[in-house]
Chain A
Amino acid sequence: MGSNTVHLNVVIARTALGVLLLLLSGPTLRPAYAQFDLVGSWDATGNEDLAGDGLPVDYTGYPLTEEARLRGLSYSQSQLSMIERQCQGWPVFYFAQGPFGLRIWSDTEKANGTPISYTIGAWENRAPFVIWMDGRPHPSPNAAHTRAGFTTGHWEGNTLVAYTTHMQVGFLRKTGVPSSDQARLTTRFFRHGDVLTVLGIIEDPIHLAEPQILTKNFRLSSAAISPVGPACIAVFEGTELGESVAHYAPEKNPFTDEMTAKYGVPRDAALGVPETLYPEYRKKMKPRPAP
């Protein structure tokens, strides 16, 4: 047997081994298993009310603690005319509450395509939402809190799951119900065809009597959504720096019964009493006359 034949046999054997290993391991340069494509522009379908900011005291659908309720009732929207509060912005969960669409992009490891992060672009009153996919740990509990917080993510089947901590104090409701810096957000992204459903579960041991559960829907858009919104620019609106903060005594908030007067919503529901989120609460409500 000549040396050429031996060499040929070695080559053939290595090729066969390579084929075998390839079949056993599967290809590596194709879209990841169980992973839908999250990247792109997603329009908010806008068919549900998640913001609840139509009236000053509308806490319907929120299972609030007594502290959150009192803080909400003490809030006056005139605070937004104070220069130092005009751009105070919202925690990251506002991406699932506000009216905006999403622009999502990813960063990947150049060598092998491994996802490093997904980013949901910012808006005027919301910081960018970065979901780290590379296994980095959450910071120390004593680390700085930011408006965006710190988020890690992983895939469970066809669902992207993200977990956010380290958010700054903000709002659960735009009309004054606060969120604390101990709030946590678990987000699940479900994609069905061109519809993206986002489930947001907010836990706040100070302001929520039980976890708040929100879902919001988006539809894939062929028109690009900007990755950043307009800048928030604070301007003088007649309130001098250092003046007292506009507020109400909670028991004297003039808007407390506005939901009742306008829509027949019981006061407990307007104030976010937890039992009002369950169907049996209807039995406690007075029947309304037919319109």
Chain B
Amino acid sequence: MRVRAAMIVALAAAGSLGSAATAQGQNRGGGPPPTPRASAPIDFTGYWVAFVSEDWRLRMVTPPKGDYTRVPLTPEGRKVADTWNPAADASAGNQCKAFGAGAIMRVPGRLHVTWQDDTTLRLDTDAGMQTRTFRFAPAAGPADPPSWQGRSTARWERAAVPRRGDQDLLGAGPRPAGGGSLTVVTTNLRAGYLRWNGVPYSENTTVTESFDVAPHPTGGQLLIVTTVVEDPRYLQRPYVVSSQFKKEADASRWDPTPCTSTW
């Protein structure tokens, strides 16, 4: 009998442990879920400066008209690129066409990331003075009209907590440290430019971005933003670029400058 009693206790304990683990995984005993801000697996807030180590001549100077190297444009997209007229953009008040969400992370400049509230991450740029809002909660009310930065929904991609049974399969070295990344999907955009020289994306574009951080070897942090631009009108296939930023200690080099139609 004592053996059977021990068995029952063991199974009951196992069951209750399993239930507790499940509850913890869900919501720590039924309380309100933590806000996206409180549960952020990684901290992106602060000032970041672009490190222009790729595509320098396409980002730091305005490329010649018709230079759409490595952009998989459709024939219609090439026609639009070939008619680029920066003066017309300026006179029409469209100086920010190269500062939209499809291209803003490639613009050489600085980012300032803050929490606007518990469910909204805000990203400001000094180049072009643009503001992006990444909403973790569904936006309330009717949709806004299309804009340069569109409507962005965000979610955390979390690294799972290691379980004992997995440890042996991870290989040697430091144990996984949790963490994660941020995924942002942006739609409701105004048509803009992927490059200064009028390489277009349309208002039907979807921009999917992944934000990752990594340590810099001399201290500090790196922010890596992978941008996937999908445009059924002007792109034959997704356009994928990744941009790197170094963290800065403060706002001393923050230098807001308005949009320009040439660079």
A281 touches B60 (CB 8 A): yes
A277 touches B169 (CB 8 A): no
A210 CA to B216 CA in the complex, in Å?
Answer: 11
* Chain A residue at minimal CB-CB distance from B18: A23
A2 within 8 A of partner (CB): no
B6 within 8 A of partner (CB): yes
Among A155, A203, A269, A277, the residue within 8 A (CB) of B51 is: A277
Q: Supply 5 A–B pairs (Cβ within 8 Å), ascending by A.
A: A9-B3, A16-B10, A32-B166, A192-B157, A192-B210
* Residue count of chain B within 8 Å CB distance of chain A: 82
Q: In the complex, which residues of chain B have a beta carbon less than 8 angstroms from the beta carbon of A114?
A: 168-169, 171
**Closest-CB distance, B42 to chain A (whole angstroms):** 9
Residues of chain A whose beta carbon lies under 8 Å from any beta carbon of chain B: 9-10, 12-13, 15-17, 19-20, 23-28, 30-35, 45-50, 58, 60-63, 112-115, 133-136, 152-159, 161, 186, 188, 190, 192, 195, 197, 199, 201, 203, 210-217, 219, 259, 263-265, 269, 276-282, 285, 288, 290-291
B244 touches A215 (CB 8 A): yes
**Closest-CB distance, B223 to chain A (whole angstroms):** 11
* Chain A residue at minimal CB-CB distance from B214: A188
- Of residues 1 through 29 on chain B, the ones whose CB sits less than 8 Å from some CB of chain A are 3-4, 6-7, 10-11, 13-14, 17-18
- Of residues 44 through 93 on chain B, the ones whose CB sits less than 8 Å from some CB of chain A are 49-58, 60-65, 69-72, 84, 86-87
Encoded as 1 (CB less than 8 Å from any A CB) or 0, chain B from 169 to 189 comes to 111111011111101000000
Other CB < 8 Å A-B pairs besides A157-B176, A197-B210, 9 of them? Answer: A15-B7, A24-B164, A28-B169, A47-B70, A49-B70, A154-B171, A159-B214, A186-B217, A290-B86
A12 touches B240 (CB 8 A): no
A214 touches B172 (CB 8 A): no
B177 touches A157 (CB 8 A): yes
B241 within 8 A of partner (CB): yes
A23 touches B17 (CB 8 A): yes
* Chain A residue at minimal CB-CB distance from B246: A213
B10 touches A19 (CB 8 A): yes
* Chain B residue at minimal CB-CB distance from A18: B10
B255 within 8 A of partner (CB): yes
- Of residues 121 through 166 on chain B, the ones whose CB sits less than 8 Å from some CB of chain A are 127, 157, 159-166
Q: A115 and B179 in contact (CB under 8 A), knowing A154-B174, A265-B57? A: no
A190 touches B181 (CB 8 A): yes
B224 within 8 A of partner (CB): yes
A158 touches B179 (CB 8 A): yes
Q: A264 and B61 in contact (CB under 8 A), knowing A12-B3, A210-B218? A: yes
B114 within 8 A of partner (CB): no
Q: In the complex, which residues of chain A have a beta carbon less than 8 angstroms from the beta carbon of B197?
A: 291
Q: In the complex, which residues of chain A have a beta carbon less than 8 angstroms from the beta carbon of B159?
A: 34, 157-158
* Chain B residue at minimal CB-CB distance from A211: B217
A244 CA to B212 CA in the complex, in Å?
Answer: 49
A47 touches B240 (CB 8 A): yes
A135 CA to B180 CA in the complex, in Å?
Answer: 24
B52 touches A279 (CB 8 A): yes
* Chain A residue at minimal CB-CB distance from B67: A263
B262 within 8 A of partner (CB): yes
Q: A203 and B162 in contact (CB under 8 A), knowing A47-B241, A61-B53, A135-B171? A: no
Q: A288 and B61 in contact (CB under 8 A), knowing A47-B71, A192-B210? A: yes
Q: A290 and B177 in contact (CB under 8 A), knowing A33-B160, A217-B240? A: no
Among B7, B108, B239, the residue within 8 A (CB) of A12 is: B7
A12 CA to B262 CA in the complex, in Å?
Answer: 79
A259 touches B57 (CB 8 A): yes
A52 CA to B176 CA in the complex, in Å?
Answer: 36
Among A33, A190, A281, the residue within 8 A (CB) of B226 is: A190
B58 touches A158 (CB 8 A): no
- Of residues 187 through 228 on chain B, the ones whose CB sits less than 8 Å from some CB of chain A are 197, 210, 212, 214, 216-218, 222, 224, 226, 228
Q: In the complex, which residues of chain B have a beta carbon less than 8 angstroms from the beta carbon of A136?
A: 172
**Closest-CB distance, B47 to chain A (whole angstroms):** 12
3 closest pairs, A vs B, by CB? A154-B173, A135-B172, A133-B171
Q: In the complex, which residues of chain A have a beta carbon less than 8 angstroms from the beta carbon of B72?
A: 47
**Closest-CB distance, B206 to chain A (whole angstroms):** 13
A190 CA to B197 CA in the complex, in Å?
Answer: 31
Q: A190 and B160 in contact (CB under 8 A), knowing A133-B171, A154-B173? A: no
B110 within 8 A of partner (CB): yes
Among B55, B172, B216, the residue within 8 A (CB) of A154 is: B172
A153 CA to B4 CA in the complex, in Å?
Answer: 48
Interface centre among A135, A154, A215, A290 (most CB of B within 10 A): A215
Q: In the complex, which residues of chain B have a beta carbon less than 8 angstroms from the beta carbon of A135?
A: 171-173
B62 touches A25 (CB 8 A): no
A186 CA to B238 CA in the complex, in Å?
Answer: 28
B109 within 8 A of partner (CB): yes
A212 CA to B53 CA in the complex, in Å?
Answer: 8
Q: In the complex, which residues of chain B have a beta carbon less than 8 angstroms from the beta carbon of A157?
A: 159, 176-180
